Amino acid sequence: MDRIVIEGGAALKGTLPVSGAKNSAIKLMVACLLTEQPLTLRNMPDLADTRFLTVLLQRLGVKVTREADVMILDGHDVSSAFAPYALVRKMRASFNVLGPLLARMGHAKVSLPGGCAIGARPVDLHLQALEALGANLEMHEGYVYATAPRGLKGAEITFPFVSVGATEHALLSAVLARGTTVLRNAAREPEIGDLAHCLNAMGAKISGIDTDTLIIEGVKRLSGADWSVIPDRIEAGTFACVAAMTGGEVVVDRVRVDTLQALIAKLREAGVEVEEGEASVTIRRDPSTRLKAVDVTTEVYPGFPTDVQAQFMAVMTLAEGESVIRETIFENRFMHAPELSRLGARIAVHGGEARVTGVEALHGAPVMATDLRASVSLVIAGLAAEGRTEISRVYHLDRGFERLEEKLAACGARIWREEGDGDGSVEAAAE
Residues flagged as binding site for UDP-N-acetyl-alpha-D-glucosamine: 92, 121-125, 307, 329
Rounded-to-integer distance, Cα 57 and Cα 100, Å: 12
Rounded-to-integer distance, Cα 236 and Cα 224, Å: 29
* Angle between the N-to-C axes of helices 22-30 and 164-174, in degrees from 0 to 180, rounded to the nearest 10: 30
312 CB burial (10 A radius; 0-12, 13-18, 19+): buried
* Angle between the N-to-C axes of helices 22-30 and 190-201, in degrees from 0 to 180, rounded to the nearest 10: 30
Q: Are 250 and 281 in contact (CB under 8 A)?
A: no
Q: Are 199 and 156 in contact (CB under 8 A)?
A: no
Annotated binding residues, as ranges?
Answer: 22-23, 92, 121-125, 307, 329
**102, containing H or E segment:** helix 98-105
DSSP secondary structure of 29-67: HHGGGG-SS-EEEES----HHHHHHHHHHHHHT-EEEEE
Rounded-to-integer distance, Cα 24 and Cα 47, Å: 13
Direct distance between the N- and C-terminal alpha carbons of the chain, in angstroms, rounded to an integer: 16
41, 45, 46, 48 alpha-carbon torsion, rounded to 10°: -110
Angstrom distances, CA of residue 190 to CA of 80, 168, 195, 230: 31, 11, 9, 8
395 Cα distance to chain centroid: 15
What's the longest Cα–Cα distance across the chain? 67
Q: Are 29 and 57 in contact (CB under 8 A)?
A: yes
Q: What is the sign of the dihedral through the CA atoms of 157, 28, 403 and 367?
A: positive
SS3 content of the chain, % helix, strand, coil (to 5): 35, 25, 40
- The rounded radius of gyration (Å) of the Cα atoms in the chain is 22
> Which letter does DSSP use for residue 412 in this model?
T
Rounded-to-integer distance, Cα 216 and Cα 382, Å: 46
Catalytic residues: 116
Annotated binding residues for phosphoenolpyruvate, as ranges?
Answer: 22-23
